[in-house]
Amino acid sequence: MDVLKISTPYITLGQLLKESGAIDTGGMAKWYLSEYEVIVNGEPENRRGKKLRAGDVIRLHDGTSIEVAWSEEKEDEGQ
């Protein structure tokens, strides 16, 4: 299972598809979700704006599983 670490409260399903390499651009998310089944926490999901949080598990049409995890690293706040 792949792990995608986030440092924000959530990431959208469209962003996850782009970050995972399933799609090349964010604009492809709508097409991808209409063509392929994506499972989020055991349920089919087709909304590109679906908010994913740490602990969510996503399964793509090719069998790839991705777990969203919280990143302990803090972004540089300009100090």
77 is a domain residue: no
Q: Are 59 and 65 in contact (CB under 8 A)?
A: yes
- In angstroms and rounded to an integer, the radius of gyration of the C-alpha atoms of the chain is 13
Q: How many domains does the chain have?
A: 1
11 is a domain residue: yes
The predicted pLDDT at position 72 comes to 77
40 is a domain residue: yes
76 is a domain residue: no
Residue-wise pLDDT tens digits, 22-77: 999 989 999 999 999 999 999 999 999 999 999 999 999 999 999 999 987 655 44
Q: Whole-structure pTM over 0.95, yes or no? A: no
User: For residue 9, what is the domain's CATH number?
Assistant: 3.10.290.10
d(CA 53, CA 15): 12
Domain that holds residue 49: 2-70
53 is a domain residue: yes
d(CA 16, CA 12): 6
10 is a domain residue: yes
